[in-house]
């Protein structure tokens, strides 16, 4: 809605410290609560597509649009492109956080990396490896040792993604 866009625009301007008109990685890293989030860096990366150094307001909003709550009353027009906050797109966004090299699969190595980010130095290498192996085994159906996007979707089919990956903006 228009009011929410105005709010997001002011937020964009507040984050843009040097009034450059766009955000760069350092601007986002300055947010204290984001810097303590173990996946903070990955989340920041998701804003900068194709290795660019800046994100403007439309890019900013496009990423945040993934988190718009799903509106049941919206009529699904089969010919229109899928809205950004659909279930599939939300899942695709989360998949991106795992799949760094964007090859469409989460390899065992990538899974290990994400886990390492989330636990830091608190867990030993062996424990982490066994956790990774188990997870990949559970989700991997075609036995190629990696979790593809479809396998990812299937393992989460019961989850209420729409609610868990949505942020509601107050009026």
Partner 1 sequence: MFLLLPFDSLIVNLLGISLTVLFTLLLVFIIVPAIFGVSFGIRKLYMKTLLKIFAWATLRMERGAKEKNHQLYKPYTNGIIAKDPTSLEEEIKEIRRSGSSKALDNSAEFELSDIFYFCRKGMETIMDDEVTKRFSAEELESWNLLSRTNYNFQYISLRLTVLWGLGVLIRYCFLLPLRIALAFTGISLLVVGTTVVGYLPNGRFKEFLSKHVHLMCYRICVRALTAIITYHDRKNRPRNGGICVANHTSPIDVIILASDGYYAMVGQVHGGLMGVIQRAMVKACPHIWFERSEVKDRHLVAKRLTEHVQDKSKLPILIFPEGTCINNTSVMMFKKGSFEIGATVYPVAIKYDPQFGDAFWNSSKYGMVTYLLRMMTSWAIVCSVWYLPPMTRETDEDAVQFANRVKSAIARQGGLVDLLWDGGLKREKVKDTFKEEQQKLYSKMIAGNHEDRSRS
CB closer to partner 1 out of 78 and 150: 150
Closest CA to 147 of 107, 100, 119: 107
Q: Which alpha helices (H) appear in 39-119, and where do they start and end?
A: 40-45, 57-65, 87-98, 108-119
**Cα distance between residue 125 and residue 140, in whole Å:** 22
102 is a contact residue toward partner 1 (CB under 8 A): no
Q: Is 131 in the site for partner 1 (CB under 8 A)?
A: yes
Site string for partner 1, 62-81 (x = CB under 8 A): --x--x--------------
Task: Decide if 53 contacts 8 (C-beta within 8 A).
Answer: no
| Per CB under 8 A, 58 contacts partner 1 | no
Tokens 């830091």 identify what position? 120
Separation between Cα atoms, residue 35 and residue 72, nearest integer Å: 34
**Which residue, 24 or 64, is less far from partner 1 as judged by CB?**
64
Q: Taking CA 78 as the corner, what is the angle to CA 76 and CA 79, rounded to the nearest 5 degrees?
A: 125
* Binding flag, residue 152, partner 1 (CB under 8 A): yes
**Dihedrals phi, psi of 147, to nearest 5 degrees:** -105, 115
Cβ distance 108 to 136 under 8 Å? yes
Residues 5-34 that bind partner 1 (CB under 8 A): 6-8, 11, 14-15, 17, 28-34
User: What minimum distance in Å lies between the beta carbon of 135 and partner 1?
Assistant: 6
Residues near partner 1 (CB under 8 A): 2-3, 6-8, 11, 14-15, 17, 28-40, 43, 64, 67, 93-94, 97-98, 114-115, 118-123, 127, 130-131, 134-135, 139, 147, 152, 155-156, 158-161, 164-165, 167-170
């Amino acid at each position: 809605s228009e009011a929410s866009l105005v709010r997001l625009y002011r937020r964009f301007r507040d984050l843009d410290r040097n009034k450059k008109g766009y955000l760069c990685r350092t601007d986002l890293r300055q947010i204290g609560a984001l810097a303590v989030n173990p996946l903070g860096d990955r989340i920041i990366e998701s804003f900068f597509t194709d290795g660019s150094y800046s994100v403007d307001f439309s890019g900013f909003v496009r990423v945040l649009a993934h988190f718009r709550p799903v509106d049941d009353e919206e009529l699904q027009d089969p010919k229109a492109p899928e809205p950004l906050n659909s279930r599939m797109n939300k899942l695709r966004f989360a998949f991106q956080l795992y799949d760094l090299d964007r090859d469409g699969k989460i390899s065992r190595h990538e899974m290990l990396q994400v886990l390492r980010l989330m636990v830091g130095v608190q867990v030993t290498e062996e424990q982490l490896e066994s956790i990774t192996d188990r997870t990949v085994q559970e989700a991997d159906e075609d036995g190629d040792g990696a979790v593809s996007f479809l396998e990812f979707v299937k393992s989460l089919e019961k989850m209420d993604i729409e609610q868990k990956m949505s942020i509601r903006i107050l009026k």
